[in-house]
């Protein structure tokens, strides 16, 4: 497999995501689940940039590209049996496990991408532009708004794929890390991580990323391997879930819904 150069523009990101989706459909791989969701996210960011919904469109595109490249690079490394972050290796490692719910695939991808990648991406953007980290806080929040809204939209439509998903208490209060994986909490944790990482230099920088990766991998294990009654519930839900990865990816790729503007963080908002 020839190496693919990192994307430089949001259009190139979209092309590479579409290539992952197409390959997943062709090979009947569950890799297409998260890629399909993330393709929607990236297209929504592009739309927001074109519509002037961000305070600094050029910086937002740079953030989106750096952010997305971390996922794509990790996926390519995993494909080529090269090292990648632990939390992404955990996510990719369940592609061949037919017992895992589609919901688990989406949440484990969100776990790695928000809790690890997003913090690294905003720090890199701030440093590239020689700006204080607070300058990119609104962009950080906007990305999270899109991720959260589209993730919950897709999850709410999973009854087309998993008709008994409501048994997991998706809209109920329970302490399960699988169901109560809160993207708002992930956002807050990712920003705290970014603030800490921004102060690190030299060897301390990659060491802090590695430490965070280890912590997020442990969090991901709770999503991949639920315990107690939830484990039984997941098994029951799985019995009635669609089993064709290609068809599932096609459903996740084609689902569209009207989505509100993402500009919920005006330039004068507190940072």
Question: Does residue 99 or residue 186 have the better pLDDT?
Answer: 99
Confidence category of residue 268, pLDDT binned at 50, 70, 90 = very low
Q: Residue 202 — very low, low, confident or very high, per pLDDT cuts 50/70/90?
A: very high
CA distances from 146 to 48, 138, 178 (A): 10, 13, 21
For residue 182, what pLDDT is reported?
A: 52
Q: What is the mean pLDDT of residues 185-214?
A: 94
C-alpha separations of 262 from 40, 54, 71 in Å: 14, 8, 22
Map residue 8 onto helix, strand or coil.
coil
Sign, CA dihedral 83-191-91-226, equals positive
Half-sphere exposure of 18 (CA within 13 A, CB side): 10
Question: Is the pLDDT higher at 205 or at 263?
Answer: 205
Whether residue 157 is predicted with pLDDT greater than 90 in this model: the reply is no
pLDDT at 256 > cutoff 50:
yes
Average of pLDDT values for 155-163?
A: 76
Question: CA 41 to CA 118: how far, in whole Å?
Answer: 14
Sequence-ordered alpha helix ranges (H) in the chain: 10-27, 32-50, 57-79, 86-92, 102-112, 119-128, 137-156, 183-198, 204-224, 229-239, 245-254
pLDDT at 2: 55
Could you read off the pLDDT of 2-39 as tens digits, one per residue?
567 889 999 999 999 999 999 999 999 999 999 999 99
Mean pLDDT computed over 78-99: 95
**Averaged pLDDT score across all residues of the chain:** 85
Instruction: For residue 148, give Cα distances in angstroms to 182, 186, 187.
Output: 9, 10, 9
Answer yes or no: is pLDDT of 269 > 50.
no
| pLDDT score of 151 | 72
- Is the pLDDT score of 271 beyond 50? no
Sign of the Cα pseudo-torsion (207, 209, 210, 214, in order): positive
């Amino acid at each position: 497999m020839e190496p693919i150069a990192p994307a430089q523009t949001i259009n190139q990101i979209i092309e590479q995501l579409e290539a992952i989706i197409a390959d997943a459909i062709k090979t009947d791989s569950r890799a297409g689940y998260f890629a399909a969701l993330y393709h929607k996210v990236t297209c929504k960011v592009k739309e927001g940039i074109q519509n002037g919904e961000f305070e600094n469109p050029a910086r937002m595109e740079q953030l989106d590209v750096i952010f997305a490249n971390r996922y794509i690079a990790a996926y390519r490394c995993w494909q080529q049996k090269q090292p990648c972050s632990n939390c992404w290796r955990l996510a990719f490692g369940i592609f061949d496990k037919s017992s895992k719910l589609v919901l688990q695939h989406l949440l484990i991808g969100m776990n790695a991408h928000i809790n690890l990648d997003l913090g690294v991406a905003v720090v890199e953007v701030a440093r590239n532009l020689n700006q204080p980290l607070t300058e990119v806080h609104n962009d950080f929040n906007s990305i999270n708004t899109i991720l959260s809204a589209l993730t919950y939209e897709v999850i709410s439509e999973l009854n087309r794929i998993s008709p008994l998903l409501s048994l997991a208490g998706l809209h109920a209060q329970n302490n399960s890390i699988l169901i109560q994986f809160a993207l708002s909490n992930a956002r807050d944790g990712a920003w705290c991580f970014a603030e800490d990482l921004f102060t690190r230099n030299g060897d301390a920088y990659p060491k802090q990323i590695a430490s965070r990766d280890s912590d997020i991998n442990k969090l991901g294990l709770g999503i991949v391997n639920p315990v107690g009654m939830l484990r039984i519930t997941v098994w029951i839900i799985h019995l009635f879930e669609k089993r064709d990865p290609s068809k599932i990816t096609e459903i996740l790729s084609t689902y569209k819904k009207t989505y509100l503007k993402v500009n919920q963080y005006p330039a004068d908002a507190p940072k």
